[in-house]
Structure 1
Amino acid sequence: MTATSAAPAKNPRGRRLAALNPLEQLRAGHLPRRLVQLYVGLVLYGASMGLMVQGNLGLDPWDVLHYGITQHVNLSFGTVAIIVSFLVLLAWIPLRQWPGLGTISNAVVVGLTVDLTLAIVDRPDAMWLRIVFMTAGVVVNALAGALYIGAQLGPGPRDGMMTGLVRRTGRSVRLVRTSIEVTVLAVGWLLGGVVGVGTVLYALAIGPLVHVLLPLFTVKLNTEEADN
């Protein structure tokens, strides 16, 4: 069975995340809007990660995992993150999840935006401002994820695992995303990753937030219009 024949993932309001190969993604219509939405989402995603780092109240679960792995191997944080990304992409194969322009762009744009955010945004001393950074980071991260996933030009490696599991299991985005984040957090903590209140907030809140926001930003593609 090809990826295009797999059951599409549906959000709570019924709009589908289509299972398309990279060429079909580009031919599915509304490309200018989808490209803008993709790159706005990726920039916001990187900025949100920078805010969480500068808030210094806990990393997101995946970065807890990356840090934990660095405690056991002689590799940099960034190198570990890249290796984990490729390992996660291997998990796409049984899920019949296709990559795309967004998958490639994710690794480049998000990383550059994180570095830029860390360069121009200072780490605050006041606890109330650190809490603002942490909370804003989580909320903006969810919005950013909904934007670039909803553009349907290929999710990032980790989000692609989420959408693939949603499609294959029929479970909700909320349940699948939260399960992934909690599992990754637990493994990262056991490996020696640093956990803070921001980590717990992210792990518990990101699934429900994406579940609510994704329907608002999922672009209806021409392939769906032809089916209806």
Structure 2
Amino acid sequence: MKTSIQLAQLGPLEQLRTGRLARRLSQLMIGLVFYGVSMGMMIRGSLGLAPWDALHIGLTHYFPVSFAWVFITVSFLVLLLWVPLREIPGIGTIANAITIGVATDLTMRMLDTPDQFIGRLALTVGGVLLCGLGSALYIGVQLGRGPRDGLMTGLHRVTGLSLRLVRTALEVSVLLVGLLLGGVGLFGIGTILFALLIGPLTQAMLPWTMIAVDTAPPPAAGVPSA
């Protein structure tokens, strides 16, 4: 049996057959909730948002629905772009599309924007740190990429462009649209901190959150396993 702590390329059924499912599902939900809470913290910090969140908040200015509905709708619209890219969603993909938006919405209802700058800065920095942890937790369970991450990796595979270039182009594009919809106030120190820290934070935490999965193919019928 071969077990790996590297990120494996697994289809939806393979993701569910690789063992430790109860632990992986629990960690998945904790990671997604942490991610949603972190987004709510940054939004209430009001010192600049991550690119996709700027787009989501910008859209709430034009549609009379909650942040959760905007997040979920954008998630499933992005999933439609997976079809020509031949990306395959997993259980984590669908959970990502729904759970993060709901967790963000609930966090925004419980938190207000502090009057003092130090309070807003604490929410913003804390949000970035918690987002790094949430990202590492849900990536580490290997139950499928989120809609936006899958769009990035799909474009990288189809176009042959570097992952860094594709990610940068996507995030700059959605940030610009978000600023056009919601105003330049959505850009700030939080945007810069997110851009600089989220990658290194997630990478640093992954070794502690990665759950090893069995990547060996099942034995053929009638052939005893070793």
TM over 0.5: yes
Matching of residues 74-223 of structure 1 within 5 Å: 74=63, 76=65, 78=67, 79-165=69-155, 169=160, 171=162, 177-193=167-183, 194-223=186-215
Give the letter for the 2:177 counterpart. V
Give the letter for the 2:193 counterpart. L
- After superposition, what is the alpha-carbon deviation per residue over 1:64-91, rounded to whole angstroms, capped at 9, x for unaligned? 12333455x5553644433321221122
Moved more, 146-155 or 184-193: 184-193
What is the SS of the residue equivalent to 2:215? helix
CA contact 1:39–1:148 (8 Å) conserved in 2: yes
CA contact 1:19–1:98 (8 Å) conserved in 2: no
**Unpaired stretches in structure 2, ≥5 consecutive residues:** 219-226
Q: Percent identity?
A: 54
Aligned residues: 211
Moved more, 129-138 or 189-198: 189-198
Identify if the C-alpha distance between structure 1 residues 49 and 163 changes in structure 2 by more than 3 Å, giving closer, same or farther. Answer: same
RMSD: 2.9
Of residues 50, 56, 79, the one that matches 1:60 is 50
**Unpaired stretches in structure 1, ≥5 consecutive residues:** 1-13
Identify if the C-alpha distance between structure 1 residues 95 and 19 changes in structure 2 by more than 3 Å, giving closer, same or farther. Answer: farther
Give the letter for the 2:65 counterpart. S
The Cα of 1:147 is off from its aligned counterpart by: 0.9
Give the letter for the 1:133 counterpart. L
Cross-structure match for 2:223? none
Moved more, 130-139 or 174-183: 174-183
Cross-structure match for 2:7? 17
Q: Which has the larger radius of gyration?
A: 2
Cross-structure match for 1:4? none
Identify if the C-alpha distance between structure 1 residues 145 and 165 changes in structure 2 by more than 3 Å, giving closer, same or farther. Answer: farther
The Cα of 1:60 is off from its aligned counterpart by: 2.0
Identify if the C-alpha distance between structure 1 residues 35 and 91 changes in structure 2 by more than 3 Å, giving closer, same or farther. Answer: same
- Counterpart CA distance in 1 for 2:80 and 2:126 is 32
The Cα of 1:178 is off from its aligned counterpart by: 4.6
- Counterpart CA distance in 2 for 1:132 and 1:94 is 42
The Cα of 1:215 is off from its aligned counterpart by: 4.5
Identify if the C-alpha distance between structure 1 residues 221 and 170 changes in structure 2 by more than 3 Å, giving closer, same or farther. Answer: farther
Identify if the C-alpha distance between structure 1 residues 33 and 74 changes in structure 2 by more than 3 Å, giving closer, same or farther. Answer: closer
- Counterpart CA distance in 1 for 2:206 and 2:130 is 13
Give the letter for the 1:199 counterpart. T
Identify if the C-alpha distance between structure 1 residues 132 and 212 changes in structure 2 by more than 3 Å, giving closer, same or farther. Answer: same
- Counterpart CA distance in 2 for 1:116 and 1:208 is 28
- Counterpart CA distance in 1 for 2:188 and 2:90 is 34
Moved more, 154-163 or 136-145: 154-163
Give the letter for the 2:199 counterpart. G
Moved more, 132-141 or 103-112: 103-112
